[in-house]
Structure formats: C-alpha cells, structure tokens
Amino acid sequence: SQQGEEDPQALSIQEGENATMNCSYKTSINNLQWYRQNSGRGLVHLILIRSNEREKHSGRLRVTLDTSKKSSSLLITASRAADTASYFCATSGSARQLTFGSGTQLTVLP
C-alpha cells in the first residue's frame, strides 16, 4: 500500500542549483531509502538511512531523517542535467517490505 507522500510532485531547476525533495510517511520504520528512476527504466538505489540515523551523505546527496515528524528529505547539490529523473522514497518496516512514496519528478534544465 502507498503510505508515503512526496513533495513537490514536480520540481524544475537550473543546472548548478540545489534540489530538495521531501517525503512523509505514516508508520514506524526500520529504514528509509531513496531511489531514482529514469523514464521507462528500473529503479536505482541511491541511499539508505537507518531509523537511528539523522543524516547521511553520499557524494552530492544528503539525506535527513526525522522520525518524530515521520519525514525525510533528499538534497541534491550542484544539480546536473543528468539528474533529471523521478525520485522515490521508500520505507521498510517490520514486514521488511518496501512501501514507496508518490515520487517527485525532477527536471534539471541545462
């Protein structure tokens, strides 16, 4: 079932700018993951943050997690045209299944 909401639904920025996407969820989680999907393709795993972590970095990606607010954010710094894609958060709970958010369509203009 769909439990995550992401905002914005769509985001358009200029190359070089930072992009921030937010994700909210409803139930308790073990971890939260972010994925990227290019149009018509499979998902690429970007980063996983555990429920006891608050922030994590990977290259140009920065993820935060606030379990008290049941929310997470993904920041992409110095965006590139190649970052254009849909981004999904996904939560993993006690059932160890992934529940996906609604996604954010990011467009980076050259």
Partner 1 sequence: GAVVSQHPSRVICKSGTSVKIECRSLDFQATTMFWYRQFPKQSLMLMATSNEGSKATYEQGVEKDKFLINHASLTLSTLTVTSAHPEDSSFYICSARDTSGGAGTDTQYFGPGTRLTVL
Binding site for partner 1 (CB under 8 A): 1-2, 30-31, 33, 35, 40-45, 48, 50, 88, 90, 92, 96-103, 105
Residue closer to partner 1 (CB basis): 41 or 57: 41
Three-class DSSP category at 33:
strand
Residue type, 39: S
For the bound state, the minimum distance from the C-beta of residue 87 to partner 1, rounded and expressed in Å, comes to 11
Q: Respond yes or no on whether the N-terminal peptide bond of residue 8 is cis (omega within 30° of 0).
A: yes
Q: Decide whether 26 or 41 has the Cβ nearer to partner 1.
A: 41
Decide whether 71 or 92 has the Cβ nearer to partner 1: 92
- Tokens linked to 57: 């970095």
* Angle made by CA atoms 2, 22, 85, in degrees to the nearest 5: 80
Least gap, CB of 52 to partner 1 (angstroms)? 9
CB of 16 to partner 1, least distance (A): 27
Considering the complex, state which of residue 69 and residue 96 has its C-beta at the smaller distance from partner 1. Answer: 96
**Neighbour count for residue 51 (Cβ, 10 Å):** 14
User: What's the closest the beta carbon of residue 67 comes to partner 1, in angstroms?
Assistant: 14
Count other C-beta atoms under 10 Å from residue 67's C-beta: 15
CA pair distance 17, 4, nearest whole angstrom? 26
